[in-house]
Amino acid sequence: MTEWQKLEHAKQAFHIHRKDDQLFAFAGLWEHWEHEAQTLYSCTIITTAATALMQPIHERMPVILPPAHYRDWLNKSATEDDAFQLLDNSAYTDMTTTAISDYVNNPRHNDERCLW
């Protein structure tokens, strides 16, 4: 994930990733419904207040699910209360941030150098 910190005269891009560089998942919602003979799809990423790690960069952040909670989040039998308990980022400390170059700011750049 990349986020930009607003500075006085510029923006600094940060690569936010797990300390072990493994993939991670955001909590999100997806649904579809029928409308005038069309199927409409909708999705959203759930956000929350920033953790101490993220606060210097941005005031909010996506809810990041620890791998141990992936199945719980996708469990169709889970209650609303079960889901709300998974939305607390404060205990998840496996993330880190790395300042990266402004190369990422050019939309034509779409390669691994965006994370350097």
Six-digit token pair at 24?
A: 């991670």
Report the candidate in 54, 75, 65 with the shortest Cα–Cα distance to residue 26: 65
103-115 pLDDT, tens digit per residue, is 998 999 999 898 8
Domains recognised in the chain with CATH numbers? 2-115 (3.90.1680.10)
Place of tokens 């941030």: 97
Supply the pTM of this predicted model: 0.81
- The answer to whether residues 21 and 108 touch, using CB atoms and an 8 Å cutoff, is no
30-51 pLDDT, tens digit per residue, is 999 998 899 999 999 999 999 9
What ranges make up the beta strands (E) of the chain? 2-6, 11-18, 25-26, 28-35, 38-45, 47-49, 60-62, 64-65, 95-100
Q: Does residue 70 carry a pLDDT above 80?
A: yes
